A and B are shown apart, each in its own frame.
Chain A
Amino acid sequence: GNSVTQMEGPVTLSEEAFLTINCTYTATGYPSLFWYVQYPGEGLQLLLKATKADDKGSNKGFEATYRKETTSFHLEKGSVQVSDSAVYFCALSDNTGNQFYFGTGTSLTVIP
């Protein structure tokens, strides 16, 4: 079946530190991969996506590369800011495109 495994949090970093949040997946066929972000009291917002192997999604300084050989989609940012504090969810959509499968989320706190 389809599933996503995410690095457990919480993660606490100092401002300007390098961020990596690991995500691996199990899927049949050729899924699309996503990172969503959830700020306190808000819904989920799409951060970036990749629809095929070796694609790199990027947005707001965040990047993730779809690695089929390692079934991974790790999220990285070179220099985090306090405003990046949120919960980050890795997700995949299956071939049917009818639903998402989410990881459990990783809480990030960036301190000044």
Chain B
Amino acid sequence: DTGVSQDPRHKITKRGQNVTFRCDPISEHNRLYWYRQTLGQGPEFLTYFQNEAQLEKSRLLSDRFSAERPKGSFSTLEIQRTEQGDSAMYLCASSPGGLARGYTFGSGTRLTVV
């Protein structure tokens, strides 16, 4: 068990560019979640997957954002036409199902849009 891995740790991009982040969950966890954390705030829910199915999306997830989890293993989060307001820490978490058992969070990808 190597924990939840996120790549890259840091990403600086110019406004208008597309970016993609990757999350590798704990292997036996069937649920995978994406959250966004802006400076001085708590994480905000974006979306979650159970296996390969995307079951819920927040209204924060505009049409410029898309997430996938092919084959129910790793997940990618893509942001198209980035804006300065997209600058944030993007956190991935996984769980074996049922929040009472708690998530395991990754260390996050910090995105800076200049």
Contacts and interface: CB of A to CB of B under 8 A. Distances in A.
Closest 9 CB pairs of A and B: A102-B42, A43-B105, A93-B99, A97-B99, A99-B45, A44-B105, A43-B107, A46-B102, A102-B43
Binding site secondary structure of chain A: strand
B91 A43 contact: yes
Interface of B: 4, 33, 35, 40-45, 48, 55-56, 58, 91, 93, 98-100, 102-108
Nearest to B45: A99
A32 B100 contact: yes
20 contacts: A34-B102, A41-B107, A42-B107, A43-B91, A43-B108, A44-B91, A44-B103, A45-B105, A89-B42, A93-B100, A99-B45, A99-B56, A99-B99, A100-B35, A100-B43, A100-B103, A101-B45, A103-B42, A104-B41, A105-B42
B99 A44 contact: no
A99 B31 CA distance: 11
Interface in A98-112: 98-105
A58 interface: no
A36 B42 CA distance: 10
B107 to A, nearest CB: 4
A41 B110 CA distance: 10
**A42, A98, A104: most-surrounded residue (chain B CB, <10 A):** A98
A44 to B, nearest CB: 4
Contacts of A32: 99-100
Given A32-B99, A46-B102, A49-B102, A98 B42 contact: no
Interface string A23-66: 00000000010101000011111100101000000000000000
